[in-house]
A and B are shown apart, each in its own frame.
Chain A
């Protein structure tokens, strides 16, 4: 497997079932390259394509094993395990805060317990988004440490930045609803760190 196919396999491994277009965007490569990579990986039995409403490209169990071995080997070859492990420790602290923020965005305290946030209260939403902006400013620092250790993680910073930009432009589905929302990209980043460091979820 060449590095290009390895990147496609790993990107899909961290995203879950996706279209070739989404894999291309997440990996930062052309749609044609993603498609070619996926077809080659499918021939090797590492990915599969399912039809249907919830279908798309997905990794096979064999694909997961090959990817885990490949990213672990890459990490040790670059001597980056120590730095990434340390950055992951800081990521975990940010992750708790971020999930609190997502929960506060989706649910808010009501008289008799939490209720769904209907986003009618601009004041409340404003506070959450202000904190998301503050959070992002601190996440950038840790993301810098992570991509300093393993360069491919830099793409997460870009995708998170795009999501936050759309939120600021009024597309609030990019907090946690859309496939390229801040939460979904962050969720994939979390998965990537776990897979790369070989930590079970």
Chain B
């Protein structure tokens, strides 16, 4: 059944999918969301069983006017597993069918088995008026967290790519700017985004992540996800939210129980950071930067080495074996480099800009937080982390 996206839509995520559910919340909060419709998860099940799409799809999409985006959105998040099609010219039957069929790709099936998600749920599809991050010089795309997901520090954190669509940000092929670049270039958009992040955080009573597009100086929100922080950042945020009165102390302890969080060593918050990426293999290691596998092997004779590569190939394996940790500019937590680093039990940070990491420089990598810091640092002992100390006090 086709439903218009509106703040009045009362169905749960199991009917309209997690993405649409979040968009409905944004609309209720008065935040800018491109007009759209939702094709329900039941329609996916019907399509996969009988090959038929719901009545009224073409008419509903035609009423939106112009080109659209067609995005998957299951009740349970399955990031990157299903299709998203941008800039589709109606009619959209083929595109909607393609997204429905992507529910059953082997990769999606594997993901569901590993995460205990039922195979018969199906995915909803959100069709929205296309907004163009590449329309002009006052356009762009990005992702933003309401707080730093690595440290829990307050204030917006994220990245933006001017003059590009959202798929360019997600693909990671182009160099993004820190989200603060918006402040100088589009102060009005920056203010709107900061206000929106505060609003969603108050609503969800948790850190939130939004995907956004700026089209000719106007902000549009395309997705919201609450939560998802790990380790010490989760503890810091739980304590701060309780102090701000958004959650109770008991909720803070329940969300970030220090005894249940993984006991991976992490660097203290607030140290000088040279580069940030994604933590791909936990642990902390300090050493001198080696920018080739050969240099890593040579330098390792004199002391610990951090191998820094744009990406890794089998030709880097002996360098990785010699190194104490690894940083790569490209690739995600599911990359060959990450798999090899984990197999060797070495800290790894992936998808991190490496311009500052010159050969011979002494750095420390934190493979949980995804941080590369200048100089030597030792992991924080539990007793020295103020957030953990506070949570333990509240737990008593």
Interface of A toward B, CB cutoff 8 Å: 13-17, 50, 52-56, 58-59, 93, 96-97, 99-104, 106-107, 109-116, 127-128, 130-131, 134-135, 138, 176-177, 181, 183-184, 187-188, 190-191, 194, 201
Query: For residue A194, which residues in chain B have a CB less than 8 angstroms away from its CB?
Result: 313
Query: For residue B315, which residues in chain A have a CB less than 8 angstroms away from its CB?
Result: 13, 16-17, 58-59, 191
B319 to chain A, nearest CB (A): 8
- Expressed in whole angstroms, the Cα–Cα distance for A99 and B229 within the complex equals 23
From known contacts A54-B300, A112-B261, infer whether A128 and B339 are also in contact, taking CB-CB under 8 Å: no
From known contacts A16-B317, A113-B262, A177-B343, infer whether A187 and B334 are also in contact, taking CB-CB under 8 Å: no
A24 to chain B, nearest CB (A): 17
Indicate if the CB atoms of B234 and A113 lie closer than 8 Å.
yes
Indicate if the CB atoms of B300 and A106 lie closer than 8 Å.
no
Partner of A100, one of B111, B301, B316, B318: B111
A88 to chain B, nearest CB (A): 16
Query: For residue B115, which residues in chain A have a CB less than 8 angstroms away from its CB?
Result: 109
A38 to chain B, nearest CB (A): 16
From known contacts A97-B110, A127-B113, infer whether A16 and B316 are also in contact, taking CB-CB under 8 Å: yes
B77 to chain A, nearest CB (A): 12
Check: B9 CB closer than 8 A to any chain A CB.
no
Query: For residue A188, which residues in chain B have a CB less than 8 angstroms away from its CB?
Result: 314
Q: In this complex, what residue of B is CB-closest to A200?
A: B311
Indicate if the CB atoms of A17 and B107 lie closer than 8 Å.
no
Indicate if the CB atoms of A138 and B343 lie closer than 8 Å.
no
From known contacts A103-B339, A111-B261, A176-B343, infer whether A116 and B314 are also in contact, taking CB-CB under 8 Å: no
Indicate if the CB atoms of B260 and A138 lie closer than 8 Å.
no
Query: For residue A17, which residues in chain B have a CB less than 8 angstroms away from its CB?
Result: 315, 317-318
Query: For residue B257, which residues in chain A have a CB less than 8 angstroms away from its CB?
Result: 111
Indicate if the CB atoms of A102 and B314 lie closer than 8 Å.
no
Binary flags per residue of B211-239, CB closer than 8 Å to A gives 1, else 0: 00000000000000000011100100000
B residues contacting the other copy or chain, number (CB 8 A): 43
- Expressed in whole angstroms, the Cα–Cα distance for A183 and B339 within the complex equals 8
From known contacts A97-B110, A103-B338, infer whether A58 and B262 are also in contact, taking CB-CB under 8 Å: no
Query: For residue A109, which residues in chain B have a CB less than 8 angstroms away from its CB?
Result: 115
From known contacts A50-B297, A111-B260, A116-B282, infer whether A183 and B106 are also in contact, taking CB-CB under 8 Å: no
- Expressed in whole angstroms, the Cα–Cα distance for A53 and B105 within the complex equals 44
Q: In this complex, what residue of B is CB-closest to A15?
A: B314
Indicate if the CB atoms of B297 and A128 lie closer than 8 Å.
no
Indicate if the CB atoms of B262 and A115 lie closer than 8 Å.
yes
Indicate if the CB atoms of B343 and A135 lie closer than 8 Å.
no
Partner of A106, one of B105, B260, B342, B368: B342
Query: For residue A50, which residues in chain B have a CB less than 8 angstroms away from its CB?
Result: 297
Indicate if the CB atoms of B260 and A127 lie closer than 8 Å.
no
- Expressed in whole angstroms, the Cα–Cα distance for A109 and B228 within the complex equals 11
Binary flags per residue of B166-181, CB closer than 8 Å to A gives 1, else 0: 0000000000000000
Check: B335 CB closer than 8 A to any chain A CB.
yes
Indicate if the CB atoms of B231 and A54 lie closer than 8 Å.
no
Check: B114 CB closer than 8 A to any chain A CB.
yes
Indicate if the CB atoms of B334 and A100 lie closer than 8 Å.
yes
Partner of A131, one of B114, B318, B343: B114
Offer 12 A-B interface pairs, CB within 8 angstroms, sorted by A. Answer: A14-B314, A97-B110, A99-B339, A100-B110, A103-B333, A106-B342, A111-B257, A112-B230, A113-B229, A115-B264, A127-B114, A184-B314
Indicate if the CB atoms of B336 and A99 lie closer than 8 Å.
yes
Check: B354 CB closer than 8 A to any chain A CB.
no
Q: In this complex, what residue of B is CB-closest to A14?
A: B314
Check: B321 CB closer than 8 A to any chain A CB.
yes
Indicate if the CB atoms of B314 and A97 lie closer than 8 Å.
no
- Expressed in whole angstroms, the Cα–Cα distance for A17 and B297 within the complex equals 11
- Expressed in whole angstroms, the Cα–Cα distance for A128 and B114 within the complex equals 7
Q: In this complex, what residue of B is CB-closest to A99?
A: B334
Binary flags per residue of B87-129, CB closer than 8 Å to A gives 1, else 0: 0000000000000000001110011011100000000000000
Query: For residue B368, which residues in chain A have a CB less than 8 angstroms away from its CB?
Result: 113
Binary flags per residue of B305-346, CB closer than 8 Å to A gives 1, else 0: 000000101111111011000000000011110111011000
A176 to chain B, nearest CB (A): 5
- Expressed in whole angstroms, the Cα–Cα distance for A52 and B296 within the complex equals 13
Check: B70 CB closer than 8 A to any chain A CB.
no
Indicate if the CB atoms of B114 and A104 lie closer than 8 Å.
yes
A98 to chain B, nearest CB (A): 9
